[in-house]
Chains A and B, each alone.
Chain A
């Protein structure tokens, strides 16, 4: 298949005097898994609403399967929202039948754990199984593009791995997949990442591109709590990492001086920051102007 599954071209959306999405461009090719990262309010949901045709852009273009979203292209899209969009009072198989009817297609044959639970009410099955069902339901009509909102949030490690097996299987079938997430585990599952902050793209590429050279200072002291208490006074972002302390947004000199003044003996290591830390740092910069 040629072309792009999803494309944002200088996408902009204003609500009154607030620019929620500001000149955002990125695309998702067929067969590719792209991760859209960003904190709450970064513009992920507004971007997706434009891509699927639920919201008109103020300027720029949203393209779904090569053209502005239409009834026809929306039928070739599969979407799993954070709330999953399942019917709790229907059974597993009734949920699937219901969506199959809506699309006018045959119900997909169930396998594995979903088959074992086919007659149970959806509200009685585990979150992992619910996520599995929502995914199965979204791909029943063999879509060409998939949008998944945090597809494995709240699921145990093995169940998450099994769900990713299926998402990858769809990509191999040449489906273009856009995953919105704030989890680093999910980010690592993607072929490419796009990071939004305050409505704009502030990073794209692989994990190292997203971290963009930001470093964390790892402080290891006999009494980590003393180091932690001293460093929180500097106004930096300070968190615990095992028995060490990680500091973001503070110079090495300040960290060393603070520890010295507090009589805390410690060793210091400079490490690449994580994606979470980069997002926290961006959010802080935005909040302080």
Chain B
């Protein structure tokens, strides 16, 4: 069964947070949602989690009791211990006693939290607290795992572990969707959705998005158009909407380039520059 949203629009006051968005999530896959602040990433996840009502369009999910949701931030109760957090969330899903332990123990073990179950969540390091949040979201073996920026600001070692926890859930058949601001992480997802101002600017595998990029990106020492160029270390990357000039060498663009180009061309269309 595939989950997702179809032609979904969400209005919040005067703002159209999502504007005719269609995203299909496949079982056994991680979908990464990327985009600028205010692009609609969190709203999309909250619609999928059933926390925000869509004004139009349809939403397909396995139902609230089969969804695991980690909001951005922490996703655990700071003044409860790790064990109390687990018991509290477990109880919400009807998991208690031996059933809860059977499920929770291996998850906490894998998350490296088995030795700190008596510690208050607020006393955990940022990386450990994130792993607790993911553990809680996984507790009831959800069919759909929804994670809002689970790795932002998390150190690389914890990030590898969080990614491994997500991988394991997906290996066991779950569908996962996560927002991220790390492009290398998005490249590791089976599919990527780039949102911009409430619309889907790009969606597909990272390779597809790079291949479908309009025009070409090249490496230049001095850009010809500052609005269409950006720095990468000491050099510039420049987008040539009409194709690569002969003076510029061929270059293998990455997902970050493809996302920047999509943002630039969407902006261009909004401003109404003739091209």
Which residues of A line the B interface, CB within 8 A?
33, 39-41, 82, 126-129, 150, 153-162, 164-165, 168, 182-185, 188-191, 224-225, 228-229, 232, 237-243, 245, 274-277, 279-280, 283-284
**Docked-complex contact A153 and B181, CB < 8 angstroms:** yes
Q: Across the interface, which residues of A come within 8 angstroms of B121, CB to CB?
A: none
A51 → B minimal CB distance (Å): 20
Known: A39-B157, A225-B170, A276-B159. A240 touches B233 (CB 8 A): no
Known: A153-B181, A280-B160. A191 touches B155 (CB 8 A): no
Interface string of B22-42 (1 = CB under 8 A from A): 000000111000111111000
Q: How many residues of B contact A (CB 8 A)?
A: 51
Give the contacting residue for A240; candidates B34, B155, B158, B163; CB below 8 A: B163
Which of B3-11, B92-100, B183-191 lies on the face that meets chain A? B183-191
Say yes or no: is B234 at the interface (Cβ < 8 Å to chain A).
yes
Cα A189 to Cα B156 in complex, Å, equals 17
**Docked-complex contact B157 and A157, CB < 8 angstroms:** no
Question: How many A-B residue pairs lie within 8 Å, measured between CB atoms?
Answer: 138
**Docked-complex contact B160 and A239, CB < 8 angstroms:** yes
A57 → B minimal CB distance (Å): 24
Q: Across the interface, which residues of B come within 8 angstroms of A126, CB to CB?
A: 36-38
**Docked-complex contact B233 and A162, CB < 8 angstroms:** no
Known: A185-B182, A228-B171, A241-B188. A154 touches B232 (CB 8 A): no
Cα A41 to Cα B158 in complex, Å, equals 12
Say yes or no: is B259 at the interface (Cβ < 8 Å to chain A).
yes
Cα A283 to Cα B168 in complex, Å, equals 21
Cα A191 to Cα B232 in complex, Å, equals 10
**Docked-complex contact A39 and B155, CB < 8 angstroms:** yes
Interface string of B167-196 (1 = CB under 8 A from A): 110111100000001111001111000000
By Cβ-Cβ distance, the 9 closest A-B pairs, closest first, are A156-B36, A126-B37, A161-B230, A240-B167, A225-B171, A40-B155, A158-B263, A283-B157, A280-B160
